[in-house]
A = this chain, B = another copy of it.
């Protein structure tokens, strides 16, 4: 294995793992402690391009009190703790760069309370978004945040995830009302309430959302729900160029159309999707739309957007109003990542994640497109363009260091471009290991130092997912 290391954080050494700690974990959790190579390997990796770094042990927790016990034991021995949900993160979040205990939360997957009248639900962190929506099926409500992967609600909270529906329903930032977390010293805190708004002190909920496991282990989450729309319709439209597709999106947003989803898929990504999902979409730069509302409202929105698309040269606006057609379309969109990987068998993807103000989106995507054309690597682009967020999947042969290097060079240029345009290095994937240097480029040293001061205050021994987001020392 000759891959370049992640850009930072692996310089801190693995910490010793005391046999005493393992004994105590075993006596408390029995067979729910594993040190087998296979289980550790499964927990020491994610969907990033990085080689696994294995935790010393994995413990499968079943409730908040058990998480508290594990944290207290680890704290006693100065051993790192890494919360694990469904393993779908993309930036090296789960790698045990300093060793330690992975707390697997997948058995904490219960729905604790559906409060349909209040449009809230309280869940354990291990439940996946699809399982949550399955549990809500008879309530007439749904949880809209949809990052594509069937991520856990805990992981989505920890990375401040979003996805295709965010243009209408917001991200995890807007949709988590409160949570329970186990702090580094084993204390359990509850943040927020079930009220829709509050001015009661510092917003600890929002501090934990996006903290990537570095401040504590989230063990309960209350999120907002939404009434299932009376009517849903979806459409596809191809465009002669990227600029015209993006202009359609900008005009849609500026007119205040409450569009539920609007996704950009470049011609290369359309080709990948056609092959993978057996579709016959025109292999051009394309927008996928979805509209939610009343029957009349959806018709009105769709009419307006269709006109905007036509004015921008959109061709063959096609409707998918039947649920099976809509699902086919959106399943195809959701499988885009795997479809794109199949463009180059055996490859892995370095996935970029910048997000820019929408007025700069066309410029950012066009400059990026030019950059990518000059590269030998295949680079399909998909994007949650209603938010100004797009992903380039840079397809590399993981055994070729020069390709990894080229991918990182392209990624860095995209990030610099986004920051120059008042945007962010990560719209929804998080920082993990991969973007620690980008975070400083984006915010400056003093802002990152302010984050670090908070980390030092809440986790003074650097036990909680150490080596992620920013370095321990300035």
A interface residues, Cβ below 8 angstroms from B? 115-120, 159-162, 166, 170-171, 173-174, 183, 187-191, 193-204, 206-207, 209-211, 226-227, 229, 250, 253-256, 258, 294, 296-297, 300, 353, 355-359, 387-389, 418-419, 422-431, 435, 438-439, 442-444, 446-448, 450-451, 453-458, 469-470
The answer on a CB contact under 8 Å between B198 and A426 is yes
The answer on a CB contact under 8 Å between A201 and B451 is yes
Residue of B nearest to A162 (CB): B197
The answer on a CB contact under 8 Å between B429 and A199 is yes
Of A118, A183, A199, most buried by chain B (CB within 10 Å of CB) is A199
The answer on a CB contact under 8 Å between A210 and B204 is no
Looking at the assembled complex, report how far the CB atom of A165 sits from the nearest CB atom of chain B, in whole angstroms: 12
The answer on a CB contact under 8 Å between A202 and B458 is no
Looking at the assembled complex, report how far the CB atom of A91 sits from the nearest CB atom of chain B, in whole angstroms: 9
- Which residues of B are found within 8 Å of A159, using beta-carbon distances? 199
The answer on a CB contact under 8 Å between B115 and A359 is yes
Sampled A-B contacts (9; CB under 8 Å):
A160-B203, A189-B443, A189-B447, A191-B447, A195-B422, A199-B424, A201-B448, A202-B469, A203-B206
The answer on a CB contact under 8 Å between B442 and A355 is no
Looking at the assembled complex, report how far the CB atom of A166 sits from the nearest CB atom of chain B, in whole angstroms: 6
Looking at the assembled complex, report how far the CB atom of A386 sits from the nearest CB atom of chain B, in whole angstroms: 8
Known: A117-B250, A159-B199, A201-B469. 4 other contacts (CB 8 A): A197-B389, A198-B424, A199-B210, A200-B439
The answer on a CB contact under 8 Å between A195 and B443 is no
- Which residues of B are found within 8 Å of A188, using beta-carbon distances? 446
Residue of B nearest to A255 (CB): B227
The 10 closest A-B pairs by CB, nearest first: A206-B206, A457-B457, A227-B256, A117-B359, A198-B424, A118-B357, A194-B422, A195-B355, A160-B199, A202-B451
- Which residues of B are found within 8 Å of A166, using beta-carbon distances? 197
Decide yes or no: A442 and B196 within 8 Å by CB, A183-B450, A207-B206, A454-B458 being known contacts.
Answer: no
Residue of B nearest to A117 (CB): B359
- How distant is the Cα of A456 from the Cα of B198 in the complex, in angstroms? 23
Of A229, A418, A448, most buried by chain B (CB within 10 Å of CB) is A448
- How distant is the Cα of A356 from the Cα of B177 in the complex, in angstroms? 12
Of A173, A183, A455, most buried by chain B (CB within 10 Å of CB) is A173
